[in-house]
Amino acid sequence: MQHPARTRLRFSLLCWEGTPYREGDQVQGVGVDCVRFVCAVLDEMYGFRRELPRNLPADRALHDPEGAKAAMRQLLRLYPSTEIAPDQAVEPGDILVMAPSGGGPGHAMIAGPDPNELWHVEPSAGVCYTGHGLMDMTLHAIYRPHGKESWQ
């Protein structure tokens, strides 16, 4: 990712930092859940605001295997992406889907512009970042959004 795109990604993430967790919402500074946070940052990077479908499952659905699959299908329909192998390096703007121990998808995150930086929404902290090794979950999948080269 080019330097200006990294700067924009950093700015976008910082603007959301501290926004409280609120299921089914997507309002900067007011409330957002993990799926809608990822969507909002991607919209900002692509340069347009997408109207999210009413049937986009809230992140609570990620704790149910069928709901999680439906949410991920919707997310990938909105933001076409390629699944990358877990041994490939994570790039800024990649979508990471984490899973609780022994389970299916459970949490959507976005890779920040710096190495080992993951941004997500926690119920107790709101939008925040952490390192790859600090999560109490395992990696379920990594998706690389198409057209990231157009991010400037």
Name the percent of the chain lying above pLDDT 70: 84
Q: Phi, psi at residue 141, to the nearest 5°?
A: -165, 155
d(CA 72, CA 81): 11
Assigned architecture for domain 3-150 = Alpha-Beta Complex (3.90)
Task: Please report the pLDDT score of residue 108 as a whole number.
Answer: 87
- With 90 as the cut, is the pLDDT of residue 1 above it? no
Query: Residue 116: which residues within 8 A CB-CB, separation 6 or more?
Result: 131, 132, 133
* pLDDT tens, position by position, 138-148: 788 899 999 98
Per-residue confidence (pLDDT) for residue 112, from 0 to 100: 96
Residue type, 46: Y
CB atoms within 10 A of CB 51: 6
Identify whether the C-beta of residue 138 lies closer than 8 Å to the C-beta of residue 98. Answer: yes
Domain positions in the chain are: 3-150
Least confident of 68-77, 101-110, 111-120: 101-110
